[in-house]
Amino acid sequence: MTATPTPIRLLLVDDDPLVRAGLALMIGGAGDIEVVGEAADGAEAEELVRRTRPDVVLMDLRMPAVDGITATRRLRARPDAPQIVVLTTFHADEQVLHAMRAGAAGFVLKDTPPAEIVDAVRRVAAGDPVLSPAVTRQLMRHAAGTAADARQARARERLAVLGDREREVAVAVGRGLANARIAAELFLSVATVKAHVSRVLAKLGLDNRVQIALLVYDAGLLDGDDRA
């Protein structure tokens, strides 16, 4: 007999009880996801994460007391950190970018179709960020401004700790390529690419591939980046 997979444990965080109720109802139909709690702000979310140990948190950004960015940063610093998916109203919201830098694995719009929100939860639970390369660039360009040169210098200084092959892999991640595509382009095995990605994350002190992409973009290393 095949064992039943353990459901993905999900925590909902939003200061609007109607939004939380709608999300719970929407996700409740997915047999492989279990809503283990609801929180009205970041402080309550931290307590519930400690008690319920969710795999994924759907996190609103604008909340009273402790906001979603602060809560994301604190939760991702935990040894048993859950994956964070940000809930937002706008595609090019600078707060979304701050949440990505804080360790969120992606974002979904609040008016996203239910099936896509469920898919986003499944993907981040499996370690796959929910942020397309096009949207990543849109976010990063939205935040680009007078501090770009200083940010580029800091990013290049951080990337200097990488070996040549690790740097190539980091740039490929920044381009939004999956491991199999990176392996084909660099003539490596998929296992070797995964090992390089893990070392890049460890050396740079990052949480996920989205943060690698942000850093590579800041450094001006992506194709077509006029800052390079």
pLDDT in tens, the chain (228 residues): 555 678 999 999 999 999 899 899 888 788 899 999 999 999 999 999 999 999 999 999 888 888 899 999 999 999 889 999 998 876 656 788 888 888 888 888 888 888 888 988 998 898 877 765 556 666 666 655 545 667 788 889 999 999 999 999 999 998 888 899 999 999 999 999 999 999 999 999 988 888 898 889 888 887 654 343
Pairing status of strand 106-109 against strand 83-88: parallel
Q: Round to whole Å and give the CA distance between 31 and 26.
A: 12
Q: How far is CA 45 from the centre of its chain?
A: 18
- The identity of residue 157, as a single letter, is E
Say whether pTM exceeds 0.75: no
Q: How far is CA 14 from the centre of its chain?
A: 18
CB atoms within 10 A of CB 84: 29
CB atoms within 10 A of CB 147: 10
The interaxial angle of helices 179-186 and 164-174, nearest 10 deg, is 130
Q: Round to whole Å and give the CA distance between 160 and 171.
A: 13
